[in-house]
Structure 1
Amino acid sequence: MLAAGTLAPALAQDAAAPAAEAPAEAAPTAPAAPVSPDTVVATVGGEPITEADLSFAAEDLTQELSQMPAEQRKPFLLRVLIDMKVMAKAGQDAGMADTPLFQQRLNYLKERALRRAFFAETIANAVTEDAVRAQYDKFVADFVPAEEIRASHILVADEAEANAIKAELDGGADFATIAKEKSIDPGAANGGDLGFFGKGMMVAPFEAAAFALTDIGQISAPVKSQFGWHIIKLEEKRQSTPPAFEQVAGQLQQQLLMQTFDDTVARLMDGVTIDIPDAALKAAVDAQSETQPAEEAPAQ
């Protein structure tokens, strides 16, 4: 699997690229009813601008469109295309289309468009909801429950105050009331309740003391961390459960998209000879291809 950081921008661009067959979805202000990609929205010097042209422009201007109100997007895209038509004609009249450099650029743009089309039709379309649900079912089947606890704490600045509070608690004082009155933790207003957490989620001294508590309602001795002195009360224990499908569907979909991309590229590369004369550049390219980050499981 190629490096996620390397592939993410390209995959995001491809995934965001709407199919030419559905320009109504690509143009953000298009009506809900289906619109033919051949529908002409304007003519410039007799040259038509169609709904499909608007969708193509939207692919390239996603960032700009995201920063403006929806009602301004279609006029903005049309203005861009009008300018493009006028300037393209000027470039054509000046002979710019006949230069070798322009032909190279044209070939690049053609291959980029084909790559996007192939990605959308062959790769993205393969990542169906059924495939994502199957991946989720596998995740649930492989899920290993872990211990989680719910705890409350009182946080103070110095040990002497912590010892004094512990003495009050040992004498029967209400934990939540003291937390609201004396704790300097931002969550003190709810009685110091931290909710459920598993191992690895809290700073080490706090975690060790919290998970050392065995009985519900048990209160720890003061324990020091970089935040101050904590007194911890064990509220509940449980075993973790898999997150709901809706919580991890997006992450699973992205994992499947990356895996499908990798598998497809590997298949296409099979038997293809690639020659990179620059040894240093070849080594750098090979290093990127060999980077294989650990596959991430959905957040538990």
Structure 2
Amino acid sequence: MKTYNRLAAAALVAWLGTTAAYAQGAADPVIAKVGDAEIHQSEVDLAMTGLDPQLANLPDDQKRVAALSAVIDVKLLAKGAKTDGLENDTGFKNRIAYLTERELHNSYFKKYVVDTVTPEEVKARYEAEMKKIPPQEEVKASHILVKTEEEAKAIIKELDGGKDFAAVAKEKSTDSNKDDGGDLGYFTKGRMVPEFETAAFALEKGKYTKEPVKSPFGYHVILLTDKRTQPAPTLEQVEPQVRQLVMRDKYVDLLTKAKADAGVEISDPALKKAYEDVNKQEAGEEKPAE
């Protein structure tokens, strides 16, 4: 912690010392030096994007210090690597070549995929996806859960006598939602255990089960409070996911054209087959309705 505090203090001094230069309009000010090597604002900004996710919730000033610390560490050891001639190592050159191409890929992806997505495309894709989703019935129910069949039957008699369902649930239910009057909210088929689901969906709105419903949790008395067709999510609710679908299709189209133009050859037969199988699977994914 003491080491970090000293580092933080030194980093903050360095940052404060460059504030004036930055305010004077320097586009990429020098905020620190390691020997003769300068550290520019742009380098710290890049380091900020690569910080460990565990640091994401730190205040911005602390993240800035961590990023500067990372850049200083890199500069210090990079200088040693250059002294040793490691930049001439074949493995190093291969890594640099790959990293360069990966970053070019990312830049190309941003330019021709991310930056080309329009609100109109997202809306059209949303509408196409909504057409694929069959309407689902959902119900809203409340329940009273007890341990024995006898308790459940006694509760049904109380309800038959005019007792309020929510009041009885608060008094006698053993479920954690008893304080909400046993309200379970809306649910579709497949969300509840079969015994409960069958009984709930068979009820008419405003009716409760006249016999206890046994499940692995105990005995239920179920009240159906509403039945409706599940509303579709709004565009605002699913916009990020729909945007991802649009970008995926643009990316696939971009790659398909690039593969056709360049040609892809894989010498290993097993690897070639696996690669082709994956590409067939991707190509066969359902496209949005026209």
Deviations 1:92-113 (A, max 9, x none): 1211111222211211121121
Shift of 1:85: 1.7
Aligned to 2:220: 230
Deviations 1:42-71 (A, max 9, x none): 233333322322233233325254153322
What's the Cα RMSD here?
Answer: 2.9
CA distance in 2 between partners of 1:287 and 1:141 (Å): 29
Aligned to 1:252: 242
Which residues of structure 1 form unaligned runs of 5+?
Answer: 1-30
Question: Following superposition of structure 1 onto structure 2, how do residues 47-86 of structure 1 map, counting pairs within 5 Å?
Answer: 47-66=37-56, 68-86=58-76
Call closer, same or farther: CA 1:71–1:128 in 2, change over 3 Å: farther
CA distance in 1 between partners of 2:257 and 2:180 (Å): 56
Aligned to 1:180: 170
Alpha carbons 1:40, 1:51 under 8 Å: kept: yes
Asked if 1:262 corresponds to 2:262, the answer is no
Shift of 1:256: 2.1
CA distance in 2 between partners of 1:64 and 1:179 (Å): 44
Asked if 1:112 corresponds to 2:81, the answer is no
Aligned to 1:163: 153
Shift of 1:123: 1.6
Q: Which amino acid aligns with 2:178?
A: A
CA distance in 1 between partners of 2:37 and 2:106 (Å): 26
What is the number of residues matched between the two proteins? 265
Deviations 1:167-206 (A, max 9, x none): 2222322211211111111111111111122222222111
Q: Which has the larger radius of gyration?
A: 2
Asked if 1:45 corresponds to 2:35, the answer is yes
Call closer, same or farther: CA 1:215–1:61 in 2, change over 3 Å: closer
Which residues of structure 2 form unaligned runs of 5+?
Answer: 1-18
CA distance in 2 between partners of 1:246 and 1:269 (Å): 35
Q: Which amino acid aligns with 1:184?
A: T
Shift of 1:287: 4.2
Q: What TM-score, normalized by structure 1, do the two folds share?
A: 0.77
CA distance in 1 between partners of 2:49 and 2:63 (Å): 12
Alpha carbons 1:97, 1:103 under 8 Å: kept: yes
- Which structure ranks higher in relative contact order (CA pairs < 8 Å, sequence separation ≥ 6)? 1
Question: Following superposition of structure 1 onto structure 2, how do residues 129-144 of structure 1 map, counting pairs within 5 Å?
Answer: 129-140=119-130, 144=134
Deviations 1:5-63 (A, max 9, x none): xxxxxxxxxxxxxxxxxxxxxxxxxx9x9x97633322333333223222332333252
Deviations 1:90-141 (A, max 9, x none): 2112111112222112111211211121122222112344432332333445
Shift of 1:291: 4.4
Shift of 1:220: 4.3
The alignment-based identity, stated in percent, is 38
Alpha carbons 2:213, 2:221 under 8 Å: kept: yes
Q: What TM-score, normalized by structure 2, do the two folds share?
A: 0.79
